[in-house]
Structure 1
Amino acid sequence: MDLPVMPPILPMLAKPVSEIPAQQCYEPKWDGFRAVIFRDGDEVEIGRNRPTWDGFRSIIFRDGDEVEFGSRNEKPMTRYFPELVEAVKAELPQRCVIDGEIVVATDAGLDFEALQQRIHPADSRVRLLSKQTPASFIAFDLLALDDQDYTGRPFTERRAALEQALAGAGAPIHLTPVTADLAVAQRWFSEFEGAGLDGVIAKPLTGVYEPDKRVMFKIKHERTADCVVAGYRVHKSGPDAIGSLMLGLYNDAGVLNSVGVIGAFPMARRRELFAELQPLVADFDEHPWNWAAHEAGERTPRKNEQSRWNAGKDLSFTPLRPERVVEVRYDHMEGERFRHTAQFIRWRPDRSPQSCTYEQLEQPLTFKLSDIVNGLGEPTGG
């Protein structure tokens, strides 16, 4: 691979702000795996015409079409998305470096849980999932094209070149919509959550591409919910401190579903919580998240569960009688669960656990991927 910008490279990042800033370029904030695509499609010569006693040796070429997906941690993700490798070769310019997001799209919006399942060590499983839950790539920045390094150019120029480079591209390669209109960005922030989007990104019009620097802005949804505390995990520092509290919400059938955790407490408070919660410790046989219910398909934590991302992390928990209610802050839902770790606000002794249902949550409108990428963006020019 021989490109003006070579892997590995850390993508440019965004810092959180509470409001959408004015006089920027705005894009939907996609909720997937950040990826920088490197493609070098030049053929490489590995033999030449050479005279021999009986003629000339043939010219031999090999296919030099190399593709690599870089990630936030600089580890390539190429092997996990074979369908996207083929799409890159079919739809992108022969030599380019493009920043974007890998997503799995369904008729009900983006499916981050299905996307997580794509990271699997077995090649046979990867190939099967590439057909069952195929991924898409949402392009939103251009780092290099042919022999030109675009990282030092302003965003408006990079965007104009990206639009031209992807003018003939088709699914599953998509160009993210963009607008310079603050009112449009505010509408996107309100409406697109139903497609599984995470908010809005604001980019300075004249900003250059700065790897691993938080020079963009991200505005994410923030909401509150009252949840039942149904268990805890101990802190890594020792068995007498709370690591995280496990949260539940009741569904329409009256079943307590596991929806997420909160865990950002000072160490002194972790130990206080451990002592406070001991009178509520319950047996699994009497707990809503018993293992028979789990085997029947209800959304409950697994006994002695291990983390998919950290093989040494124990995710087993201590069950509590579901009697305490806590108010938490969250951004959005991924299916029946909070997409990210929720934040503690306050205890709610005035609320009954049975009142903590999904009905209290906002229900955003539903959009498909095609609703967003087809015709909703505005070219910025250059």
Structure 2
Amino acid sequence: MHLSPPVEPMLARSVTTLPPSGPRPMLFEQKADGFRVLVFTGPEPYLQSRRGADLRPAFPEIARAAAALRVAAVVDAELVVWHDGRLDFTALQHRARLRGPRAERAAREQPAHLITFDLLEVSGAVLMDQPLHQRRRALESHFASLELAAPWALCPQTADAATARTWLDPAWGAAGVEGLMIKDSGSRYRPGERGWLKLRTRMTTEGIIGAVTGTAHAPRSLLLGRLDATGRLRLIARSTPLSRTAAIELGAVLRPAGADHPWWGREFSAGWGTKELLVFQPVVPEHIAEVDTDTALDLGRHRHPVRYLRLRDDMAPGDIRE
């Protein structure tokens, strides 16, 4: 039996804390900010996205690297682009839309890399029924025997929970490590199942309340901004739905904005990756909200909704700058 695309990747469900120790050791891996891919190496290479799409035309340098390996294998990996001292998800998205000469040029100027973390098949032997710790040893041997170097990289892994906690430091988040993957060392690879856990790095930050969904006196969620270098209010985040207590607190202080608000006439997406437009009410940008968020950013904008914590009456809009 040989694996052929498409193969459903094994998935993870989100958790908010490290789980307690179980009967078998847990393995922890860094969760990089990129695209999930399955890479089929050898004379007939294939670069499969999480949803089964062929990414070879957009990332020709990765397709060539996969074809150059003398051993046919299937590896599970995160496709990333490193730029300006961090993993750059925006650059990765841009590259995914390119084809032909533009893709080749981008491959030279912003090359992609593969952070590999699992080995599903090697030299005709399918490994998915082997426990994870054996697949990891096989992956490390694969790297060593082939002397793999860039664009190939081996995902950091540890069985030590204390070491794993250090990877949740926001400093790692600033470099593009979103958090942890948590895996049972004895588990087999189960395509399509959420058999792993993921724990995102959390931090707090502040934003100027520039608009709401609902009304100023009965807000349902917040649109937050920061002042750019010219003093313009720029959208940086949307909040999750407000609790009843928070809606009452904010509804008592927020004021509808006049025609001079910079967001009148603007169009904002209702969510990351959708073309649906958001219906919102601008408010006077005079209040600061402290929020809980993860570290996933696109050009300074939080990719996932943030969670409102409290008002910061000790701060002024001029304090909240990019």
Identify whether the pair has TM-score above 0.5, normalized to the shorter chain. yes
For residue 191 of structure 2, what is the aligned residue in structure 1?
211
The one-letter code matched in structure 2 to 1:287 is H
Long gaps (5+) in structure 1: 42-64, 235-240, 292-302, 360-382
Identical amino acids, percent of aligned pairs? 31
Q: Distance in 1 between matches of 2:118 and 2:91?
A: 25
The one-letter code matched in structure 1 to 2:256 is L
Q: Is the 8 A contact 2:77 2:118 kept in 1?
A: yes
Please provide the CA RMSD for this pair: 3.4
How many positions carry a matched residue from both structures? 310
For residue 60 of structure 2, what is the aligned residue in structure 1?
82
What does 1:353-368 correspond to in 2, within 5 Å? 353-354=316-317, 357=320
Q: Deviations over 1:56-84 (max 9, x none)?
A: xxxxxxxxx22222222222322211111
Residue 243 (structure 1) shift: 8.1
Q: Deviations over 1:204-250 (max 9, x none)?
A: 1111111122222222111223321213568xxxxxx9886321124
Matched, 1:201 2:181: yes
Label 1:254 to 1:281 Cα distance change in 2 as closer, same or farther (>3 A). Answer: closer
Q: Is the 8 A contact 2:256 2:281 kept in 1?
A: no
Label 1:177 to 1:263 Cα distance change in 2 as closer, same or farther (>3 A). Answer: closer
Aligned with 1:11: secondary structure? coil
Q: Name the TM-score, length of structure 2 as normaliser.
A: 0.81
The one-letter code matched in structure 2 to 1:11 is P
Q: Deviations over 1:269-308 (max 9, x none)?
A: 9x999x999951432xx234589xxxxxxxxxxx446789
For residue 246 of structure 1, what is the aligned residue in structure 2?
223
What does 1:29-108 correspond to in 2, within 5 Å? 29-39=31-41, 41=42, 65-90=43-68, 92-108=69-85
Q: Is the 8 A contact 1:35 1:101 kept in 2?
A: yes
Aligned with 2:168: secondary structure? helix
Label 1:139 to 1:354 Cα distance change in 2 as closer, same or farther (>3 A). Answer: same
Higher-Rg member (1/2): 1
Q: Distance in 2 between matches of 1:78 and 1:341?
A: 32
Q: Name the TM-score, length of structure 1 as normaliser.
A: 0.70
Aligned with 1:329: secondary structure? strand
Q: Deviations over 1:115-174 (max 9, x none)?
A: 111121654433332222211111100111121111100011101111111221110111
What does 1:1-382 correspond to in 2, within 5 Å? 4-21=2-19, 22=21, 23-39=25-41, 41=42, 65-90=43-68, 92-120=69-97, 122-167=99-144, 168-190=147-169, 192-232=172-212, 245-250=222-227, 254-264=231-241, 280-283=256-259, 286-288=260-262, 303-304=266-267, 309-310=273-274, 312-314=275-277, 319-332=282-295, 334=297, 336-346=300-310, 348=311, 350-354=313-317, 357=320
Label 1:244 to 1:123 Cα distance change in 2 as closer, same or farther (>3 A). Answer: farther
The one-letter code matched in structure 2 to 1:205 is S
Q: Distance in 1 between matches of 2:14 and 2:212?
A: 29
Label 1:147 to 1:113 Cα distance change in 2 as closer, same or farther (>3 A). Answer: same
Q: Distance in 1 between matches of 2:73 and 2:30?
A: 23
Q: Distance in 2 between matches of 1:5 and 1:205?
A: 23
Q: Is the 8 A contact 2:255 2:284 kept in 1?
A: no
Q: Distance in 2 between matches of 1:131 and 1:289?
A: 38
Long gaps (5+) in structure 2: none
The one-letter code matched in structure 2 to 1:73 is R
Label 1:228 to 1:100 Cα distance change in 2 as closer, same or farther (>3 A). Answer: same
